[in-house]
Chains A and B, each alone.
Chain A
Amino acid sequence: MWADRFGLPPEVLSGLAFLRRGRMIWAFSGQPPDLPCETVGLRIMSLRESPWKPTTNALQLWGRQATRNAIHLEEEETRRYVAGETQELKAEVEDGYVVVLYQGEVLGCGLYARGRLISQLPKERRMDEGGQEECGCDMG
């Protein structure tokens, strides 16, 4: 999917191990350790939907190298995308999941269908006018 849909160069994924757990695909840097683990690596794809859906975190990691099905937003469009909204938008992409960028940086995943871009940003990552929830930071 990463090469077909987004045109990512194959070396981006080379050397990674892919593990299926439930209906998610995880990517890990190498051989998983011989230890009982809660999780190993990064969730990159959900098999819950059809077609398979790339995760926000994986697109943020690799999406700058996409050569296809990427949409570059302007400022106001970005505001609407990060608020989780759906917007009318003309774009040279195929219907389906797309990489969404602003100022050359990846915001996340969008679903493009019939001239509309539907934000796929997870609820806990969204930013609206009112204010963003506390960040997952720590000071310690």
Chain B
Amino acid sequence: MAAQVVGMQHLERYRDMIPDFDEFLQILATPLPLTVRVNLLKTTANRLKEHLDRAGIGYSELRWYPYGLRLEMDRPGRMLEHLMGHIYPQEEMSMVPVAVLSPRPGESVLDICAAPGSKTTQISMHMENRGLAVANEPSAARIVPLRANCERMGALNVAVTKFDGRHFPRYQFDRVLVDAPCSSQGMARKDLKVLDRYSVKRSLDLHRLQVEILHRAISLVRPGGVVVYSTCTYAPEENEAVVARVLDRARLEDVALSGLSGSPGLEEWEGTDYGGELKRCARYYPHQNNTGGFFVAKLIKT
């Protein structure tokens, strides 16, 4: 318990940044709702709902995304629908970046930090298994579950690569997703320990890595192409401060998903001015939608 209090102290720096801060702290002690993504490569939302009805499993739809469901149960890994690859257990906020990226059938798309594959398989699904989705992951150990998940979901258009994202070889994609390595404070409802591991120094170290990966992503997309940058943390050093570094090469577009409550990106933090455009980014806090926490920015290469 003492350790958790230490972890919570790392959030105090956000007291003025996060609206209704005490509500925010309270919801962190409650478990996340179980959400799954419907895998349209293997089933349809209606077929899945029929099977859930028959099995007596309660569910509700997400207000903002037609392919996600909240399930009233706690062991999705025991469902036949999981064995058959009809569902992918995925936190609701984790479905946001690909919805913003909005890949289309036949395009070429890179997921530059892909493991374990929740977003890669979501990209493949939006592309209706056509075109090219490259799933990149530098760690050999993390490629194993990435490959298994892509195959379980029936992805025919995924190629797996193993590069350091900062040095991904020259190629031209229509869209790139940078779901960056981060300090993961937004995952606290799943595991409060992520808060204990936090330090500002860790954010600043990650900042350097994140900027380099995002710069590479912009080099890899065609002019006019889309780069989505996302993290599951609140630290501005890993969010607005990263995006602000590439605005000489790309412009921001609004992240607006109707049905989802969020806050605009920060224009400044602790005396650092990031610029007015940064309000086009979106911050999603757990108490706004009863989810995890996420940051998303949509960039168009100029």
Q: Which residues of A contact B (CB under 8 A)?
A: 16, 27-30, 32-43, 55, 57, 60-61, 78, 82, 102-103, 105-108, 121, 125, 127, 131-140
Asked whether B299 is an interface residue with its Cβ less than 8 Å from the other chain, the reply is no
Q: Are B54 and A61 in contact (CB under 8 A)?
A: no
Q: Are A103 and B134 in contact (CB under 8 A)?
A: no
Contact partners of B91 in chain A: CB under 8 A: 139-140
Q: A136-B145, A137-B89, A140-B118 are in contact. List 9 more A-B contacts (CB 8 A).
A: A30-B130, A33-B134, A35-B161, A38-B161, A42-B156, A57-B154, A133-B77, A136-B116, A136-B148
Q: Are A60 and B77 in contact (CB under 8 A)?
A: no
For A29, the closest partner residue in chain B by CB is: B157
Q: Are A139 and B156 in contact (CB under 8 A)?
A: no
Q: Are A60 and B147 in contact (CB under 8 A)?
A: no
Q: Are B152 and A57 in contact (CB under 8 A)?
A: yes
Q: List B77-116 residues whose CB lies under 8 Å from chain A.
A: 77-78, 80, 82-86, 88-91, 94, 108, 116
Shortest distance from the beta carbon of B73 to any chain A beta carbon, whole Å: 13
How far, in whole Å, are A134 and B75 apart by their CA atoms in the complex?
Answer: 9
How far, in whole Å, are A140 and B130 apart by their CA atoms in the complex?
Answer: 25
Q: Are A33 and B157 in contact (CB under 8 A)?
A: no
Contact of B190 among A105, A131, A132, A139 (CB under 8 A): A139
Contact partners of A16 in chain B: CB under 8 A: 156
Asked whether B132 is an interface residue with its Cβ less than 8 Å from the other chain, the reply is yes
Contact of B83 among A39, A41, A82 (CB under 8 A): A82
- 26 CB contacts below 8 A, A to B, read A28-B159, A29-B129, A33-B171, A34-B171, A35-B134, A35-B159, A35-B171, A36-B161, A37-B160, A38-B161, A41-B156, A42-B151, A42-B154, A57-B152, A60-B154, A61-B156, A105-B86, A132-B75, A135-B77, A136-B152, A137-B89, A138-B89, A139-B187, A140-B94, A140-B118, A140-B187
How far, in whole Å, are A18 and B82 apart by their CA atoms in the complex?
Answer: 27
Asked whether B169 is an interface residue with its Cβ less than 8 Å from the other chain, the reply is yes
Q: Are A60 and B159 in contact (CB under 8 A)?
A: no
Contact partners of A108 in chain B: CB under 8 A: 83
Q: Are A61 and B41 in contact (CB under 8 A)?
A: yes
Contact partners of B262 in chain A: CB under 8 A: none
Asked whether B43 is an interface residue with its Cβ less than 8 Å from the other chain, the reply is yes
